[in-house]
Amino acid sequence: MKILVVEQNNSGRNKTAGIKKYGNPDDRVIILAIDEHLPEFVDEPEKYITADAVREMDLVLNYLTHPDLSHYLIGLCTQKGIPVVSSGKHSENGYTPFTCCGLGRHKQLGSYGNCFGFPEYRVKLESGIITDIEVIRGAPCGASWEVLDQVIGSTVADALVLLPRLIQYHCTANPGRFDPITGKSPVHYAGYVHRAALKKACDYAEKESFHP
């Protein structure tokens, strides 16, 4: 896939690094960085994001912080039939999960969607101790992978407390952006979905141990 990352002032830096490290090695990641000072209202967003920038892209990741540019980018991608993921944004178009690790599976997202979104783990247990964890799908920031060394060797009960806390430490989302429905911040949400994924994997591993 050709993936375009559109960011402001390094807003997508950690996620881009995670995508390159943990994503499909055949994917090509291209960065469009807008680092200049912007006015409160951008009347001509096409000066910053041209139609040529998204041409021939298979996927666009929207990490823009300016609402006018974000709105324009989503509209441009929608017009051209290019899937765009805009985590934490509010739009009727594109994919707008609460966090990057809250993205569901969608065929249109190709290899990116196979690697990143709602976390999925595969766990090995020995006498109630986690001896190995494999990430099937995780957060593009890389947290799903990078905290595991601190979890392996724990009991299931301890890991279910430890993992979400480690994920929250690693998460780069804005902790002040609360969801009015759930009352959770993106950081809390990231911890929650990783805990749920680990519990599901541990439950499956325990079940399999009784049915070899």
Position of tokens 């324009």? Answer: 72
pLDDT in tens, 71-115: 999 999 999 999 999 999 989 999 999 999 999 999 999 999 999
d(CA 7, CA 62): 7
Q: In CATH, what is the architecture of 2-96?
A: 3-Layer(aba) Sandwich (3.40)
Q: Do 141 and 171 form a contact (C-beta atoms < 8 A)?
A: yes
Query: pLDDT band at 196, cuts 50/70/90?
Result: very high
pLDDT in tens, 9-55: 999 999 999 999 999 999 999 999 999 999 999 999 999 999 999 99
- Domain range annotation of the chain: 2-96, 120-209
As given in the structure block, the two tokens for residue 124 are: 């090995």
Query: pLDDT band at 176, cuts 50/70/90?
Result: low
- For 141, counting Cβ atoms within 10 Å of its Cβ (0-12 exposed, 13-18 middle, 19+ buried), the class is buried
Query: pLDDT band at 62, cuts 50/70/90?
Result: very high
**132 beta partners:** 124
d(CA 90, CA 112): 21
79 CB-near residues (< 8 Å, 6+ apart) = none
Q: In CATH, what is the architecture of 120-209?
A: Alpha-Beta Complex (3.90)
- Please compute the mean of the pLDDT values over residues 132-136 and round it to a whole number: 98
pLDDT above 90 for 172 = no
